[in-house]
Each structure stands twice: as C-alpha cells, then as structure tokens.
Copies of this chain bind each other. A is one copy, B any other.
Amino acid sequence: MHRKPNLKDVAELAGVSAITVSRVLTHPDKVAAKSRLKVEQAIAELGYIRNHAASALASSRSGVLAVIIPSLSNIVFNDVLQGIYSAVKPYQLQVILGDCHYSPLEEEKLIATLLSQAPEGLILTGTDQTDYARKLLQNAGIPVVQLMELTDQPIDMNIGFSHFDAGKAMTDHLLARGYRRIGFLGARMDPRTQQRLAGFNQAVAVWNEQQPQPASCQPYVVTTGQSSSIKLGGQLLQAVMAESQGQCDAVFCCNDDLALGALFAARKMNLRVPADLAIAGFNDLEASALVDPGITSVASPRFAMGQQAVELLLQKARGERCDFAPVDVGFSIMARGST
C-alpha cells in the first residue's frame, strides 16, 4: 500500500466499522475494551495517523487555539506563552502562534489568517485592535481574551493589570524615597509603555500639586520608538543625563532590559547606584534580582495570566460560563537596592 492509511483501512484490518475506529480516537470510553484493543493494534500496525483536516471539517471543531503576541523577542511574552502552553497541555489543543510586531495592522491580517483555522479561541495581547479586527472577531463568534492590560470595552474577555497604576505606583515609590529629578526612559512606546508613562506623569503632577515649591519634582522624559534592549538602556541614560545636565537623580525605565542597560552604563559612568542615581525597571526579570544592587521593578503574574486565559477560553467554549468580568491580576513593586 503506497498511500497513507485512512480510517477505513484501519477498520478493515480491525474487523470493525470506520466509525468505531473514529470513536476509539475521540471517545475511547464509548467503545468496548475488546474492539478498542483490536483497533489500537490495527492503528499501530498500519502506522495510522488521523487526518486532522478531515476531522476538523466533519466535526467543525478545529482543536486549535490561536495566540497573537506583539513580539517574539521580548521575554515577557515568553512567560505568558509558557503559561498558555502549560494550561493547554491536558487538552487536545494545538497552539498556533502569530507575531504581529507591535503593529495593529499586522495583527488585523494575522487575525484574518488565523480565523481561517476556525480556532476554538483566540488570545490577543493588549487592547488596541483595529475596528475591522474587532468586527472580524465579533463575526467569528469564538471566545477571545485580551491579555496583559485592562480595558473598559473588551471585545470579549479581559485579563491583565493597569499599567497606568503600576507606572504611578513606581513613581510614587521613587518620590517617597526622596528622588525629585526623575527621568523616564521609554523605548518602543507601545500602548502599555505609554500607559506607564502616563502613570509616571500623573504621579509627578499630583505630587507637585500637593507639595510646596522647594520639594517639587522635575521630570525628564526620554523616549524612542526603537525596540528596547540592554544596550539602548545605556544610551537612554546618557540622553537623560545630557538633557538634565547631570541633575537627574533617578530613572524609571519602562522595562528591565533598559534598567539593566542603565545600571551597566551607570557603572561605566562612575555613578554610584543608588547613591548618585536610582534605577527602577518594569517586569521583574530574573537578572534584576541578581545584579548588584538589585533593580527595583514591577512584578506581574505573567505565567498565571497565560494559564488563566486558556482556562477562561475553554470554560466559555464549553458554555460553562458566559459572564466574564475583566480580571485584574494586579502587580507588585519589588523594592530592591537600586532605589
């Protein structure tokens, strides 16, 4: 036999009907142990592998979960992905992953492509999808989770935390520690980074409103559209130092890559951390806790977010629940030596 064996071949060899073979594969408990054994032997003998396309077509269940992240290179989404994969494991689900490179338009195209797989659900990052993308998803009628940040108008389900609040909290932390000339170092400037910056600005504004003149805070904001990296952190530190004429006494980096870069660069500039310069980051990467001094950062349960996204998706797909309020997973300030 040259062509690949199909259900019928297995059925003939096992001496049962095709549907019985099908059942062995999908509802093994609905088949008598005796037949099941015969079928399993036949499958093994022929090296039969089910044709997923045919199965999906006949059952109109694809067994596919679509995931779109903004970047493969940002480790942050790696953690989320791991959560997703770990949650998916017990189920017969394949993950199809797309990278939209932080572009809503690319994301829109990806959504259109991925929808052709008729996925059981879709996990998106962030909340700034295009109108057309939202329409596509509405029509598709599949459960959707928007992950990482919170929104008032979710497409469907929503799990995340407030990057605005986190940015504000970190800035308050710096203010509370006595820093008054605080730089904000931002790269990429995707929506979540912008929210962190907004939180920073808000915290500074509130502070300056409440404090008498001599204690007021001078912010220095340096941002770039470049994607963030450790190296860039050093460059941005130099930039903010230039802009503040060396007055800057703390920097709030929009993520830990920049913060690490700033820390390494500070050393080379002979700035003592935190005596001359405090450094705060975001995302709480492993390295941040282990460098000396440790970098103060914002931690969030990324792995758990990924897991929970899958759980909610499947609950909704199974029709177990349908009232899903946005889930705020919160964040925490990991205060360390750098501030």
Contacts and interface: CB of A to CB of B under 8 A. Distances in A.
Interface of A: 47, 49-57, 62, 72-73, 75, 78, 81-82, 85, 94-97, 99, 112-118, 135-136, 139-140, 229-231, 234, 260-261, 264, 267-268, 286-287, 290-292
B97 A53 contact: no
Contact of A49 (B49, B115, B260, B264): B115
Query: In the complex this chain forms, how many copies of it are found?
Result: 2
Contacts of A135: 47
Nearest to A233: B290
14 contacts: A47-B136, A51-B116, A52-B53, A53-B56, A53-B62, A53-B117, A72-B78, A72-B81, A94-B113, A95-B96, A229-B286, A230-B290, A264-B291, A267-B292
Contact of A234 (B95, B260, B290): B290
B73 A78 contact: yes
Given A82-B73, A97-B95, A139-B47, A116 B290 contact: no
A51 B57 contact: yes
A230 B287 contact: yes
Interface on chain A toward B: helix, strand, loop, or mixed SS?
helix
A99 B229 CA distance: 26
Nearest to A64: B96
Contacts of A113: 94
B260 A287 contact: yes
Contact of A53 (B53, B94, B267): B53
Nearest to A73: B82
